[in-house]
Structure 1
Amino acid sequence: MEITFDIRTAYLITALTSLICAAMLFASRRLHRPSTAGVAWSSGGLGLIGLSMLGFALRGWLPDFVTYQMANTAGPLGVAMLYESTRRLCMARPMPWL
């Protein structure tokens, strides 16, 4: 029995996982008061990465402008937000460009 691996399915699973994690982080951001800002930034970053992966998964079904521009912009922005959330959770000074 041959099993074929579809990369779009992996992107879709990654997108759904990231969006669920972002929603859970956003819902639980006030459980620990000193880390509220860091968790909120992390939630936003995971949400953007989830949207980026969703754009990768839906290439060919949605217009190219939406999938290429949105996915290629949201991904790096999400990673930058995760970097900033790590800085805020470690109580480091926030980056001046964010």
Structure 2
Amino acid sequence: MSDPDLHVVEQIDGAKGRYTIRTGEGAAEMTFSIASPVLRIVDHTQVPRSLQGRGVGRALFRHLVTQARAEGFRVVPLCPFVSAQLSRHIEDADLFQI
């Protein structure tokens, strides 16, 4: 399974949102709060054991980065997974508020 094979769905309900990837083996999600039009706080990423190690979490992170660049918001990474991905992808550091 590669990133292009994974379809991310964005759901926003008021000041809360999530990115979700569903496969036949389960669903992974990244949740966030919209603090302002220019700031999102990512608080959790959950990838079921059946999908771990297959790039699903990375696909959620890449979607977050792509959306932040396209929509002009910055990200506060409270989620340990997002913080770890940021340390591996310092080229995206300009999008994060630490």
TM value normalised by structure 1: 0.30
TM value normalised by structure 2: 0.30
Larger Rg: 1
Structure with the bigger RCO (C-alpha within 8 Å, sep 6+) is 1
Higher strand content, 1 or 2 = 2
Higher helix content, 1 or 2 = 1
